[in-house]
């Protein structure tokens, strides 16, 4: 198990991890070049989708 205090995660005092995650998700989606829904997908399919989106 990891400890957020020693890991160096920037968060407000007393802020819960789930609240921090929800707050950051908005920014991650806003600034993402691509977004791929990986839920219930095998790794190979995910990697192929990434390659396709990046046009590799």
Q: Is 15 within the bounds of a domain?
A: yes
Q: pLDDT over 70 for what percent of the chain?
A: 84
- Domain annotation covers residue 3: no
pLDDT digits (tens, 9 = 90+) for 13-30: 777 888 888 988 999 999
pLDDT of residue 25: 92
Residue 38 inside a domain? The answer is yes
- Cα–Cα distance measured from residue 31 to residue 45, given in angstroms and rounded to the nearest whole number: 24
Using the 8-state DSSP alphabet, how is residue 55 labeled? Answer: T
Is 2 inside any structural domain? no
- pTM (2 d.p.): 0.55
CA distance 45 to 50: 9
Give the pLDDT of residue 16. 84
More confident residue, 13 or 2: 13
Determine, yes or no, domain membership for 48: yes
> How is 15-31 classified by DSSP, letter by letter?
--HHHHHHHHHHHHHHH
- Domain contains 45: yes
Position 35 in a domain: yes
The answer to whether 11 and 4 have CB atoms below 8 angstroms apart is yes
Q: Average pLDDT for residues 31-54, to the nearest whole number?
A: 93
Query: Is residue 1 situated within a structural domain?
Result: no
Work out how many domains the chain is built from and give that number. Answer: 1
Q: Which structural domain range is residue 27 located in?
A: 11-54
């Amino acid at each position: 198990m990891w400890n957020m205090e020693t890991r160096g995660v920037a968060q407000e005092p007393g802020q819960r991890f789930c609240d921090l995650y929800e707050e950051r998700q908005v920014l991650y989606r806003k600034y993402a070049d691509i977004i791929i829904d990986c839920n219930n997908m095998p790794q190979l399919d995910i990697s192929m989708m990434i390659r396709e989106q990046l046009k590799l």
